[in-house]
Amino acid sequence: MAVWGGCRPSLRRLLLASLIGALSVSALVGIYVVVAGDFGDTQVRILFTTLSLAYFSMTALACAVILERRRALWLAWPGLAVGAAGFVISQLVIWLQWDCQPMAKTLFVLVLFAFSFAHSCLLALASLGPRVRWVFPAAVVCIFSLAGLLSTMVVFGLEDELLFRMTGVAGILDAAATLAVPVLYKLGGTAPGLVSAPASDQPARWQIELACPRCGYRGVFAPGLIHCPECALEIRLSIPEAGTGATGKRLRTE
């Protein structure tokens, strides 16, 4: 577990460095074109390469953040895979000129689903209360329904009016759910759940602010067994009783 925890920040740093590097190269190419007035095929390919790297690094970064916190892994891993596949296909289209219609449609679908996975992973960062927790899976369904409808229209060249209406409805529901998740989180986001020790063993007046050592989630807790909702780490917090000779010592965590 410790090794895995140490690998995740490295992945995030790598993706962030790729994003910054791609944006920097894109800016330099743009400046060169403006100053030199030369915009040939090579410059176009370099520009599109860096833009595709920036795009897929950004979508993968959103998945890596949620992967680091060990939340919604069923979204994070496929999101990383789709982003990697999309970048590879984009390079084939850009440099090998595989601009046939099936390849272009495949790239469009991968671009769309990479964004959908990143979108869903960012929403997964919000820890909703038990009563409204259903909003997140509903939002994910709306996001991928919209992506599926758009992909179907492009891949099969459909122009059915009913399909357009369904896509519009899915887009509206997608936007509404996307706005609802952060609003509900701000109104009633959950703090890490805990199972406290009996009142006779631990004073009820104790409330201590702690940060999760694994993911950094901060919260105010009572003594007892704390379950971090971000990474599922369990920490037991105990306070020495008065008169035990523990005065002035640090609180004990396990």
Are 12 and 104 within one domain?
yes
Look at residue 48 in the predicted model and tell me its pLDDT.
Answer: 86
Are 45 and 88 within one domain?
yes
Are 109 and 206 within one domain?
no
85, 101, 118 — which closes off a domain? Answer: 118
229 secondary structure, DSSP code = T
- Count the neighbouring beta carbons within 10 Å of the beta carbon of residue 92: 14
Are 55 and 98 within one domain?
yes
Are 17 and 94 within one domain?
yes
Are 61 and 148 within one domain?
no
Which of 154, 145, 152 shows the shortest CA–CA distance to 174? 145
What is the residue-level pLDDT of the chain in tens, covering all 254 positions? 333 344 445 666 777 777 787 778 777 877 777 677 667 787 788 888 888 988 998 998 899 888 887 788 899 999 999 999 999 999 898 888 766 788 889 999 999 999 999 999 999 988 888 888 899 999 999 999 999 999 999 999 888 889 999 999 999 999 999 999 999 888 864 444 433 444 444 444 667 777 777 766 777 777 777 777 666 677 877 776 655 554 444 444 45
Look at residue 196 in the predicted model and tell me its pLDDT.
Answer: 40
164, 190, 216 — which closes off a domain? Answer: 190
Q: Which residue has the tokens 């590097």?
A: 21
Are 2 and 99 within one domain?
yes
User: What value does the CA radius of gyration of the chain take, rounded to a whole number of Å?
Assistant: 24
Alpha carbons 117 and 147: distance in angstroms, whole number: 10
The upper half-sphere exposure of residue 4, i.e. CA atoms within 13 Å in the direction of its Cβ, equals 9
Alpha carbons 219 and 217: distance in angstroms, whole number: 7
Look at residue 55 in the predicted model and tell me its pLDDT.
Answer: 92
Look at residue 222 in the predicted model and tell me its pLDDT.
Answer: 74
Are 14 and 73 within one domain?
yes
Are 143 and 181 within one domain?
yes
Are 168 and 98 within one domain?
no
190, 211, 238 — which closes off a domain? Answer: 190
Which of 170, 49, 66 shows the shortest CA–CA distance to 118? 66
Q: Which domain holds residue 220?
A: 193-253
State the total domains in the chain: 3
Alpha carbons 25 and 5: distance in angstroms, whole number: 31
Are 81 and 162 within one domain?
no
Are 151 and 51 within one domain?
no
Alpha carbons 127 and 175: distance in angstroms, whole number: 19
Which segments within the chain are labelled E, that is strand? 193-196, 208-211, 218-221, 224-227, 234-238, 252-253
